[in-house]
Structure 1
């Protein structure tokens, strides 16, 4: 099966061209500016948008005041993110008052939910474009230039943008995101993604491998495969049938195919769902050294009743068994998670279950939030947001404090070890130091010294000290 699929992929690579960097904007007659908020998928989408605009004669700029087109790629997961977007749109409107020819557009997850407010009530934007409608941007821009408000927030069951070569915005030339699927079928009760990004659909494996191969050929040394739930990735060519699955590709097989491009190409992925990650994926990770030993496995809560209200479709025991299985197959695997405090009707005892889950799982890091009701979600329709804000905040503080302790212990335990680090660039604090990550996704900083290393090189680094978020070391002799 692998040989047959690889042959098809090699054939599909013939004549394929990808644009790894945003080209010099000075060669374009028009300029666009784009800001992205939220998950990695949004940043990946912005690179697709940049490619579409570049074909229309737009060059990217970092200064929105000189742009004729200003876009903001939005996130609806958290209320704070929405407020940030509103504040930015207010700033854009002030510049637009001095430059009436400027067009302002909202892209992404907030587009469908708040299109009426943006267009009519607040008059903040000229265009509203949903995540499945980016191909229609040229026509929407043309319509907005006539003074009409332009909108397309239709969701699609087929769109994956597989044939569009992303323009790598703000690229370090070493790491890149590659979208492998869109949408989500999980319907977690707190989450708005299924309503803003539509149903789940997988991109064809040929185009994914072609993009990863091209990135490697152009000097990139790490790809992160992106999806709302990568473990449910599934591709079966249209000429195959369910009874004849010689070239079917599951996520485990896709990981292997990307890893086989070159042992010098690191492979990461995000995000996994506890109910879907399989032993096949774990064994594939263990088999290939260049598949990074790191999994982001959102738990959300440590209590089974709350997990059921969240519609997470697993129990506390199921999740813990999955963590144990990961550690059994890959003892050195890094693990991170998402945690929500104060979900609807959560009791103090149930909050303690979350803390005990953290103690048992021992995450290297976590994204931690207090529950924020999102309009349109199942939880907003079914449950009362009845945990007082001060209780949510106190519980969140306890979660953060515990995770900070675990992170410190995790990073301190690495002192004295030697890791292979992929250099991503200069350290933020000093251009005399390199920074990069190890396989477990931990940031490592070390002095450049007299070595002739470059971005994209792999270096063995011995860890001498650590903070709760950074490993600090020297080149291992």
Structure 2
């Protein structure tokens, strides 16, 4: 069957890596004759790009896929595919458990999508969840799905070699592979040519980027500087950093390139050495603190965020209190906080009993959130009277007379709209704040 005039609807859940992957998928399918549609009702093919990092992420996807039943009644030829990490983790089970699913495709098999779609059109259950040691999609120029966006994502590597005991990522995304720097620079310059004002370099652990060929070797700090120099008028961000691989070289590159944002996301997960050991994080609280101290010294005005979760295997009250004390010491501007959720297939699921009661997990999570809200407010109050460069991203949700954007430190700032438009860089004097937002006026 010809794919001419066929339409694809893409729905993305989870991390920024999934957003970037969806743009790769869009490009592959457009080359096969599919047009991207923003309405499910028009689609001949719906692909749901999924996340497996926590149970509730998979629950949301299941509910979404089950909700496509009405669409399938109206269009019996409609195909539904589950792609990404959940597809990799569950594989053939998805056909058994979700009657609406016709395709199951893992993160390393997107090049095979056109063939799999044809198999599904012929009534077969189409699946490819093979992990690759080499696939980086370096020859694919992603299709930017959100035409109004000014911020783009570029994957510089795929997979993870860390195998933290609680984490499913190495099993769903495979081993680490770094992309050719030339292909990365080409993609970044393509964003600049299309009018993007900001790019985020993505990897499960960007610090361990290492590309080798017969001529040379490029490390992450070297790549970061290459990108900054190649697009001097674009803001550069990166995520995510693993504390064990965060180097002073990277910090010095940030400090000497004004277009690299002064912001680092450095997940700690726990403040307890015994819990960190059980997590197989490969650093101690002391090591982590030394990285924060280096950031504060080399980049004094650097914004800082983290991932933290409570209730992991054998976490005692004392262990949890060490996490609380670390949060007070680090004074994160923002933290993503969770309670532990077992992921089938991980080392912890097989070997470490989930032995912290849900009531205890919930109480600890609430304590963390309350503390972080207080710290975030205090940090924002410390910005009163300061001027920040803000990249305008859109109209404020609370008032159409205001616009919002982000500072280099990744804080949201709101200020009067006047004649400013999306994509403008504006200097803003901060006059008031909430725990989540800086409020000011252009100067």
TM-score band, normalised by shorter chain:
over 0.9
Alignment correspondent of 1:175: 151
Q: Is the 8 A contact 1:172 1:424 kept in 2?
A: no
* Structure 1 segment 8-23 matched on structure 2, within 5 A: none
Partner of 1:465: 432
Number of residue-to-residue matches in the alignment: 441
Identify unmatched segments of 5+ residues in structure 1.
1-26, 241-246
Query: How big is the shift at 1:28?
Result: 6.3
The residue number in structure 1 matching 2:297 is 328
Alpha-carbon distance between aligned partners in 2 of 1:425 and 1:440, rounded to the nearest angstrom: 18
Task: State the Cα deviation string for residues 373-405 of structure 1 (Å, max 9, x = none).
Answer: 000001111110000001000000001110111
User: 1:111-131: CA deviations, max 9, x gaps?
Assistant: 122223211243230000000
Write the mapping of 1:74-113 to structure 2, written as runs, cut at 5 A: 74-113=50-89
How far residue 176 of structure 1 moved from its aligned partner, in angstroms, is 0.4
- Under a length normalisation based on structure 1, what TM-score does the superposition of the two structures give? 0.91
Deviation (angstroms), 1:71: 0.9
Aligned: 1:290 with 2:266: no
TM-score for both structures, normalised by structure 2:
0.97
Tell which deviates more after alignment, 427-436 or 86-95: 427-436
SS in 2 for 1:208: helix
Structural mapping, 1:29-44, within 5 Å: 29-44=5-20
Kindly indicate whether residue 360 of structure 2 is the aligned counterpart of residue 409 of structure 1: no
Secondary structure of residue in 1 paired with 2:92: helix
Q: How big is each residue's C-alpha offset from its partner over 1:284-309, in whole Å with a ceiling of 9 and x where there is no partner?
A: 00011110000000000000000000
* CA deviation after TM superposition for structure 1 residue 248, in Å: 2.0
Given candidates 110, 113, 121, the residue that maps to 1:137 is 113
Q: Residue 334 of structure 2 is aligned with which of 331, 342, 365?
A: 365
- Report the 3-state secondary structure (helix = DSSP H, G, I; strand = E; otherwise coil) of the residue aligned with 2:90: helix
- Distance in 2 between the 1:284 and 1:112 partners? 36
Residue 424 (1) aligns with residue 424 (2): no
Query: Which SS does the other structure have where 2:254 is aligned?
Result: helix
- Kindly report the root-mean-square deviation, in angstroms, between the aligned alpha carbons of the 2 structures: 1.3
Match of 2:321 in 1: 352
CA distance in 1, matches of 2:217, 2:161: 20
**Alignment match, 1:46:** 22
| Residues 209, 258 of structure 1: 8 Å contact kept | yes
| Farther off after superposition, 153-162 or 163-172 | 163-172
Tell me the residue number matched to 2:220. 251
CA distance in 1, matches of 2:231, 2:33: 35
Worse-superposed segment, 391-400 or 420-429: 420-429
Q: How does 1:201-220 map to 2 (within 5 A)?
A: 201-220=177-196
Between the aligned partners of 1:124 and 1:30, the Cα distance in structure 2 is 19
Query: Which residue of structure 2 aligns with residue 64 of structure 1?
Result: 40
| Between 57-66 and 174-183, the greater mean CA deviation after superposition | 57-66
